[in-house]
Structure 1
Amino acid sequence: MAYSTDDLVQRLKKPAGIRSVRLGDAKVTYVPDGAARLRPRDLLPDTPGEVWDARPEFLDTSGNLVVSIGGLLVENGDRALLIDVGIGPHDSHASQGPVATMHGGALLDSLAALGRRPEEIEAVAFTHLHPDHIGWAWHPAPGGDRPPFARADYLMSEPEWAHRGVLEAQGMSKEMAGLAPSVRTVADGQEIFPGVRMRIGAGHTPGHAEYVITSGGQRLIAFGDAMLSSIQVEHPEWPLAFDGDPVPAADYRRRLVADLAEPDTIGFGIHFADVVFGHVRRDGDRPTWRPLDASSVGDDL
């Protein structure tokens, strides 16, 4: 099934459902937890106003960017890895700032729809420690007093964990304490699961990581919050409000977009509306995001 123009416009205005692609012996699946609506001019403050007038397909009826919140399930035979775990039970609304609304809490139900129980996840790998990526790693499971993935190792880059004090100072001491017993730090380039290696990026957080999944002559790059919307593929130079260090973050995005354009490469943008899997292709002078046809929950996963 190829996306029609009308279908693509609709997908850009809603969060992703469960979607899956295969890479050789591996299956990778987006596992929804929730969604957010972001104010585009606050999120990308250096964008000219006419950009959004010219690109209304990216905005919902309230004029906001719709982003997905969830995780990426990587399965190889009976083994399972989860990259990021959503925000967990959460519902917020703000009258100003980049985040207009955010809600979560569906990830465990999404896993159940895929036939996976939390105790079957051998490791949880994190791109970084922002709240919308670690929620179910510290929040107790419904009806219990321990997180649902308490049996799993929590994997993250060494510099990300080393700088957790910044988040503790911002009021996230409870979250960091909840993660600490299970954390195992990972070095740049280390393999963490069959065919899955971590690479440290730059700029968004001190140790923001991407995960490269290789199988069957293809690779998939799960790039976390390096980009939050597929429009950023066209403009990697645009500063992102949530980047801790904007200049290296923009340099990293440029390198990432070039890497995603390489042959046999699939990108995974965890926040990319209902177009989380895609290829980067040239459209005139600009790279663009071309959504990949992916099985939905109603298809043969």
Structure 2
Amino acid sequence: MATTTEFDRARLTSAPRVRSLQLGELKITYVPDGLCLCKPRGWLTGTTDADWAANRDHLDDGGFLPAAIGGLLVEQGDRALLIDTGFGPESYPDDPANPAIGGIHGGALLDGLRRLGREPSQIEAVAITHLHLDHLGWAWSTEPGTDAPPFANATHFIAAPEWDRRDLAAEAGATEERLAAFAPRVRTVEDGEEIFPGVRASFSVGHTFGHATYTITGGGQRLIAFGDAMHAPIQVTHPEWGCTLDHDPAEATEQRRRLVDELSRPDTIGYGNHFGDVVFGRAERRPDGRFTWVPVA
């Protein structure tokens, strides 16, 4: 049975585009930074060739599982929060020796913000879901042509357990040197804490030791920015498929199952940072009891 709808099939393997929606007084906009081409069997552990043959619509012509990279801009009038900061001004070709990740590139986020009328210096706060490089690239990088970070005026919110065990992030490339570049701007947050009007942090450990999601509420709806609790729309249908980078695979699986159930509620929208060009959506139940990701913007 297909895991996608006719509406979104062509967008699953497309490079991400700017997408926006309104929640009451809050304007929510996805701002692309780049793209990662994942090797499906190495990236989503436990999957087989037969699994991907049955879900070929999720793969591009080269057999890669495209993963969008970007940030989520939350605006309330003149105020602005950014959830995650993309990969930053780096680019790497496919390494055949890497079983999980093909080519990856970033760098478009700052120009995207400016096209939306937001100078990076106007962002008052940055919320990081977890300490992997494709979520904090522009937090530690300097803006090209300058010697200053683009979000130097922003408080950087990070879940307290994630920051307390930031030593674990070094394995994924977030070295002590890179973290030191924005450490003075970090403020740790606790589970359930409001960090911006209508935006609350929730601990959702599993992918990393202190992974966080951010729930945005407005206009009688809520949007769950779930970071890397899921990496691809196919995991809405198969939450048992984990990611090779999951710190605690069993807990990460339970988090995905709970998340899919939440995303099936009529008042709830999900934001999947890596979900190709279908980053906003809901989980719709199928006749077989599983769910399908249905885009809403």
* TM-score class normalised by the smaller sequence: over 0.9
Structure 2 vs 1, CA of residues 98 and 147 (structure 1 numbering), >3 Å: closer, same or farther?
A: same
Question: Which whole-Å deviations, capped at 9, do the CAs of 1:48-74 have from their partners, x for residues lacking one?
Answer: 321111111100010010110010000
Partner of 1:38: 38
Using the aligned pairs only, state the percent identity.
53
1:33 and 1:106 in contact (8 A); partners too: yes
2:133 aligned with 1:119, yes or no? no
Structure 2 vs 1, CA of residues 6 and 259 (structure 1 numbering), >3 Å: closer, same or farther?
A: closer
Partner of 2:250: 247
2:154 aligned with 1:152, yes or no? yes
Q: CA deviation at 1:177?
A: 0.6
Q: What is the TM-score with the length of structure 2 in the denominator?
A: 0.95
2:135 aligned with 1:140, yes or no? no
C-alpha distance in structure 2 between counterparts of 1:261 and 1:222, whole Å: 15
C-alpha distance in structure 1 between counterparts of 2:245 and 2:208, whole Å: 9
Structure 2 vs 1, CA of residues 18 and 170 (structure 1 numbering), >3 Å: closer, same or farther?
A: closer
Partner of 2:197: 194
Partner of 2:186: 183
2:262 aligned with 1:265, yes or no? no
Which amino acid is the alignment partner of residue 133 of structure 2? P
Which amino acid is the alignment partner of residue 289 of structure 1? W
Q: CA deviation at 1:6?
A: 5.4
2:283 aligned with 1:280, yes or no? yes
Partner of 1:84: 84
Q: CA deviation at 1:167?
A: 2.5
2:5 and 2:294 in contact (8 A); partners too: no
C-alpha distance in structure 2 between counterparts of 1:173 and 1:206, whole Å: 17
Partner of 1:47: 47
Partner of 1:14: 14
2:130 and 2:158 in contact (8 A); partners too: yes
C-alpha distance in structure 1 between counterparts of 2:179 and 2:217, whole Å: 31
Aligned-partner SS, 2:86: coil
1:14 and 1:67 in contact (8 A); partners too: no
Which amino acid is the alignment partner of residue 283 of structure 1? R
1:152 and 1:182 in contact (8 A); partners too: yes
Which amino acid is the alignment partner of residue 12 of structure 1? L
Which amino acid is the alignment partner of residue 293 of structure 2? W
1:189 and 1:198 in contact (8 A); partners too: yes
Q: CA deviation at 1:166?
A: 2.0
Q: CA deviation at 1:5?
A: 5.5
2:248 aligned with 1:232, yes or no? no
Which shows bigger deviation, 212-221 or 279-288? 279-288
Aligned-partner SS, 1:281: strand
In the comparison of the two structures, how many residue pairs are matched? Answer: 290
Question: Which whole-Å deviations, capped at 9, do the CAs of 1:173-192 have from their partners, x for residues lacking one?
Answer: 22111121100000000000
Structure 2 unaligned regions, length at least 5: none
Structure 2 vs 1, CA of residues 170 and 199 (structure 1 numbering), >3 Å: closer, same or farther?
A: closer
C-alpha distance in structure 2 between counterparts of 1:165 and 1:23, whole Å: 37
Partner of 1:204: 207
Aligned-partner SS, 2:195: strand
2:33 and 2:69 in contact (8 A); partners too: yes
1:11 and 1:273 in contact (8 A); partners too: yes
Runs of 4+ with deviation above 6 angstroms: none
Q: CA deviation at 1:15?
A: 2.3
Structure 2 vs 1, CA of residues 219 and 173 (structure 1 numbering), >3 Å: closer, same or farther?
A: same
2:208 and 2:246 in contact (8 A); partners too: yes
Structure 2 vs 1, CA of residues 97 and 20 (structure 1 numbering), >3 Å: closer, same or farther?
A: same
1:164 corresponds, among 162, 166, 170, to: 166
Q: CA deviation at 1:156?
A: 0.7
Q: What is the TM-score with the length of structure 1 in the denominator?
A: 0.94
C-alpha distance in structure 2 between counterparts of 1:24 and 1:132, whole Å: 30
Partner of 2:58: 58
1:168 and 1:176 in contact (8 A); partners too: no
Which amino acid is the alignment partner of residue 40 of structure 2? P
Please show how residues 22-33 of structure 1 align to structure 2 within 5 Å: 22-33=22-33
- Please, what is the CA RMSD of the aligned residues? 1.3
Question: Which whole-Å deviations, capped at 9, do the CAs of 1:221-255 have from their partners, x for residues lacking one?
Answer: 00000111000000111121110110000011101
